[in-house]
Structure 1
Amino acid sequence: MYLPRHFRMDSLEAQHALMAHYPFATLVTVSSGDIEANPLPLLLNPYQGEHGVLEGHIARANPLWKTPAAQAMAMFHGPDSYITPSSYPAKRTHGRVVLTWHYLSVQAHGTLRFIEGPDWLKAHVARLTDRFEQGQATPWSIGDAPQAYIDGLCQAIVGIELSIERLIGKHKAAQHKDEAAQQAVCSALKQQGMSDSEAGWLSGAPFTRHG
C-alpha cells in the first residue's frame, strides 16, 4: 500500500497491538489468477516465528482450503474516521485545509496452511472463545455445550495458520501537523462520541494498546 514516511507504523509492538486489539481481518489469497477475500477473526500468537503466527478457521464448505494458494495477506483495520476541514484551526486563519480520512491498518503477509486435525480445531475454538468472551458478565465456554455438539461443529470447519513473513503498518493521522491541529482533531472526534483512546490515535498519538 502507499506509505508516506510520516505515516509508517514500523514498530512490531504497535503492529501486534493493533492486530490483537482489532482481530477481525480480511484474508486475501490469489489462486489461478482469481482473488479471494474472506472476512474472519484471526488470533495472533506473537511468540511463534519471527513476526508471529495468525490462526483462525473457515467453513469446510468454503472452497478456499482446497485451493493450492500458499501465499496470503491478512488485512487488519483499527479505528478510522472522516476528518472535516472545520476541525483544523487553519480553516479560520488562512483556509488552506481540505477533507481527509484518518485510519490505522496493518497488512500481514505470509504462508498459509490448512489444518483438519480435530484436537487442533477444538483447542482453537476454545482459544477463540476465551478471547472473545472476555468482559462478558457470565463468560461462556465450550464446556457449557454438549461434547458431541462441539465435536460436530469442529467437523464442519477447517483451521488456518498464517506464518507471518512480512508486516506493513500504516497510521494515517495528524502526526505531520502541529500540536494545535492534533488537539483540535482529537477534541472534534471526542465530541462525535469517539473514545478518548481512539480519538487520540486518530489525531496522531502512538498506538500502544494491547488486546
Structure 2
Amino acid sequence: MYIPSMFEETRLDVMHQLMREHSLGTFVTLGPDGLNANQLPFEIDSGDPPFGTLRAHVARANPVWRDASGSVESLTVFQGARAYISPSFYATKKEHGKVVPTYNYMVVHAYGPLRVIDDPQWVRAQLERLTGAHEAGQSEAWKLSDAPADFIEKLLPSLVGIEIPITRLLGKWKVSQNQPRLNRIGVEDGLRTRGGSEALAMAEAVANRGNQIA
C-alpha cells in the first residue's frame, strides 16, 4: 500500500481499535487459481506479539483453507470510515480555485501466514467469543447456547477455524492532513452538515488529526 509519510499511522492501539470497530475484513489469498478475496468477521487478539493475531472461521466448503494454508502470506484489509471530500469544502476554492475532489479514508492492512485449525471445540470457542462481542450492545444478547444443542453440534463440523499471526501491520489515515488549517475546518464543517455515521466519523478524525498538526 502506498503511504505518504503524512498519512501513515503507526500506533498499534489505534490500528487495533479500527480493526475491532470494523471487524468484517477482506481476506485476500493467493491460491492455485490466482487471487481470492473473502469477507470474514475477525477477532483480534492484541496480546500476541509483535502485532497481534487474527482469528476467524470459514465454511468447510470454502476452498480457501486448503488452497492458502501453510506459510503463504495472506492480507486482510480492514476499512474504516470513508467520505467523499468536495472542493466546495475548501476555503482556498474562493481564493484561487486550484482544488480538486478527493476521498478521505482510514484503513489497516494486516499480513501474515494462514494457520488452519480443524477442531470443532476451537471453532465453538471462537464463535462464542465473536458473537459475544457483537451481541454486547443488544437488549437481549443472543448466545450460542440459545440454539438447540444438537443443531450446533451438527453445525460445527461444517466450519474450519483459521488463525493469522500478524507479521506486518500498515495503517493509513488520509484525513486532510495535507490541507491548510482553514481547509481542514471546512472539511469538518462540510461533513458534519452532510451527516450520516461515516461522514460524522470522518469529521471527528479530521478534527482530531488537525489538532495534532496544530
- TM-score class, shorter: over 0.9
Code of the residue aligned with 1:50 in structure 2: it is P
- The one of 60, 76, 79 aligned to 1:77: 79
- The one of 110, 113, 126 aligned to 1:111: 113
1:40-72 Cα deviation digits (max 9, x unpaired): 111100002311000011111101111244320
Q: Is the 8 A contact 2:31 2:64 kept in 1?
A: no
Residue in 1 that maps onto 2:208: 205
Q: In terms of mean alpha carbon deviation, does 83-92 or 60-69 score higher?
A: 60-69
| 1:33 to partner: Cα distance | 6.1
1:43 and 2:43 matched? yes
Q: Number of aligned residue pairs: give it.
A: 205
Q: Is the 8 A contact 1:84 1:98 kept in 2?
A: yes
Residue in 2 that maps onto 1:22: 22
Partners of 1:109 and 1:192 lie apart in 2 by 35
Identity, in percent, stands at 37
Partners of 2:67 and 2:101 lie apart in 1 by 42
Partners of 1:11 and 1:194 lie apart in 2 by 27
Residue in 1 that maps onto 2:6: 6
- The one of 77, 90, 93 aligned to 1:91: 93
Q: Is the 8 A contact 2:68 2:114 kept in 1?
A: no
1:149-187 Cα deviation digits (max 9, x unpaired): 112111111111010000011011111222221121111
| 1:26 to partner: Cα distance | 0.5
Code of the residue aligned with 1:82 in structure 2: it is Y
Q: Is the 8 A contact 1:175 1:204 kept in 2?
A: no
Residue in 2 that maps onto 1:171: 173
Code of the residue aligned with 1:191 in structure 2: it is T
Moved over 4 A (4+): none
Partners of 1:172 and 1:17 lie apart in 2 by 17
Residue in 2 that maps onto 1:127: 129
TM-score by length of 2: 0.91
1:78-126 Cα deviation digits (max 9, x unpaired): 0001111001111111111100000001100011111111110100010
| 1:130 to partner: Cα distance | 0.4
Q: In terms of mean alpha carbon deviation, does 179-188 or 36-45 score higher?
A: 179-188
Q: Is the 8 A contact 1:122 1:151 kept in 2?
A: no
Q: Is the 8 A contact 2:175 2:202 kept in 1?
A: no
